[in-house]
Amino acid sequence: MDPTYVAVARTDTIAPGRFIKVTVQGQDYLIANTGGHFYAVEDNCSHEDYPLSYGCLDGDRIKCSLHGSRFSLRTGQPLDDPADQPIRTYRLRIAEGQIWLDPSDSDHSDSSA
């Protein structure tokens, strides 16, 4: 396994339709299982820096519990007002039932530049 990847959970510990919060190097992430597909996003709503882990899954979207914006877990894009900026998404690898996260590999790391 690429050394930048960090083991974060076993696949069988996240039931379909559920997510868990993990902390890697001081940063919080959500690891979600949308029914066979696993996704990783930052645990932070882009609207007012509120933990998305207080929210809930809606298919392949995470809904913020504070003002209700939903974000695509695949792209990080906001789907509802009031959020208008994406959240960061991260690549995962699955190997032998283990989920690995690359915390350095945000798909939106330069989106605000």
Enumerate long-range contacts of 9-16, CB under 8 Å, 24 or more apart.
Answer: 9/98, 9/99, 10/97, 10/98, 10/99, 11/38, 11/94, 11/97, 11/98, 11/99, 12/97, 14/38, 14/99
Residue 69 C-beta: closest distance to ligand FES, Å: 4
By CB under 6 A, the residues from 56 to 95 that bind ligand FES are 64, 66-67, 69, 82-83
Binds ligand FES by CB under 6 A, chosen from 11, 50, 98, 107: 50
CA-wise closest residue to 31 among 66, 50, 57 = 57
Min dist. Cβ of residue 58 to ligand FES (A):
13
CB of 49 to ligand FES, least distance (A): 7
Beta carbon nearer to ligand FES, 20 or 66: 66
Question: Is residue 108 part of the contact set for ligand FES (CB under 6 A)?
Answer: no
40, 55 contact by CB (below 8 A): no
Tokens of 4: 């930048």
Residues within the interface to ligand FES (CB under 6 A): 45, 47-48, 50, 64, 66-67, 69, 82-83
